[in-house]
């Protein structure tokens, strides 16, 4: 019986637990440092099981011993940036949280595959890999699935066509420098560049880059969690069912696209062993330059994080 641990029982973590159970992917352990929160949310989700018609177990805890033997560990723990908080403050705080989580989770589940969701995502994924010393194939960041889903949504809305026929590809870091790739984004095989004018394509790319901020501005308090949560579950399901899905994920580049020693969003085949291979697409110069710029920005953040951690 597959077992998934979700670290952090906030909106994203609880949504991951909900979808993993409702899709009958695995049993779930929801863990948090806040006493009662994971227990309460897990019990609420268990009480929904008879309505949804599944028998998956969802268990809330504050003790890492309960996570023992997990097949996948999803890290959502961390804080959002607050007013008056610098980016360095956020980086330092979340780095400390993620380091502690990675160490504790690894002790109890040394064979697990780690999926990182905490922001800044690409940097926290690198830190998890650095902390656990696991093969890079077993440490993956979730961002490209979410960013591509947003791009797909906007394409469907723009064309008034079913999103079920839309496929999209967004590469690079999870932030303002992400790289939507229109020529590899299609509606039932037809590139969107043949279905709408260039200015509309560019407008959708811009909206995709700002997709998270758009939701934050609408909510006034908090950030997105339905789409991030279900994006994580698509990755979890691909791994546990060995589906060999081609999904954009934050992975360690080892020469692909001219990039090295940096976690960045690339087209990735994932299955039971984690990352099976990185697919190299033929990018035009503009997209290749944008991808390099995004990766350079991530590398700068990694250097800043390492300096902050050394200073602790």
Residues labelled as active-site residues: 174
Pairing type for strands 72-75 and 166-167 reads: unpaired
Please spell the DSSP secondary structure of 100-131, one letter per residue.
HHHHHHHHH-TTPEEEE-SSSHHHHHHHHHHH
CB 274 within 8 A of CB 113: yes
Contact yes or no for 72/26 (Cβ under 8 A): yes
Burial label for 99, CB within 10 Å (0-12, 13-18, 19+), is middle
Answer yes or no: are the C-beta atoms of 118 and 100 closer than 8 Å: no
Chain-centroid distance of CA 174 in Å reads: 9
What would you report as the CA-atom Rg of the chain, rounded to the nearest whole angstrom? 19
Burial 150-175 (b: 16+ CB within 10 A, else e): bbbbbbbebbeeebeebbbbbbbbbb
Q: Is the dihedral of CA 186, 188, 193, 195 positive or negative?
A: negative
**Exposure class string for 26-63: b at 16+ Cβ within 10 A, else e:** bbbbbbbeeeebbbebbeebbeeeeeeeeebebbbbee
Exposed, middle or buried: residue 86 (CB in 10 Å: 0-12, 13-18, 19+)? exposed
Handedness of CA 150, 154, 157, 163 (dihedral sign): negative
Q: From CA 12, how far away is CA 34, in angstroms rounded?
A: 15
């Amino acid at each position: 019986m597959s077992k998934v641990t979700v670290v952090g029982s906030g909106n994203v973590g609880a949504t991951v637990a909900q979808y993993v159970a409702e899709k009958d992917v695995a049993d779930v352990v929801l863990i948090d440092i806040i006493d009662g929160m994971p227990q309460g949310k897990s019990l609420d989700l268990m009480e929904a099981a008879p309505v949804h018609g599944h028998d998956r177990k969802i268990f809330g805890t504050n003790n890492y011993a309960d996570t023992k033997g997990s097949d996948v560990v999803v890290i959502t723990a961390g804080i959002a940036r607050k007013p008056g908080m610098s980016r360095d403050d956020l980086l330092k705080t979340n780095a400390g949280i993620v380091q502690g989580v990675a160490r504790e989770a690894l002790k109890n589940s040394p064979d697990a595959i780690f999926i990182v969701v905490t922001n800044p995502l690409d940097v926290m994924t690198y830190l998890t890999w650095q902390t656990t010393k696991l093969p890079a194939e077993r440490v993956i960041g979730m961002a490209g699935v979410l960013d591509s889903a947003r791009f797909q949504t906007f394409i469907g809305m723009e064309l008034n066509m079913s999103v079920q026929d839309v496929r999209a590809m967004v590469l690079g870091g999870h932030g303002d420098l992400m790289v939507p790739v229109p020529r590899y984004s299609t509606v039932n095989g037809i590139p969107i560049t043949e279905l709408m004018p260039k200015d509309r394509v560019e407008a959708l790319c811009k909206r995709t880059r700002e997709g998270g901020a758009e939701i934050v501005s609408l909510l006034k308090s908090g950030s997105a969690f339905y789409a991030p949560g279900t994006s994580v579950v698509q990755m979890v399901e691909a791994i546990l069912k060995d589906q060999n899905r081609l999904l954009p994920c934050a992975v360690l580049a080892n020469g692909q696209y001219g990039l090295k020693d940096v976690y960045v969003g690339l087209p990735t085949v994932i299955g039971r062993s984690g990352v099976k291979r990185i697919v190299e697409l033929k990018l035009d110069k503009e997209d290749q330059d944008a991808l390099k710029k995004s990766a350079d920005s991530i590398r700068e953040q990694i250097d800043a994080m390492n300096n902050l951690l050394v200073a602790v």
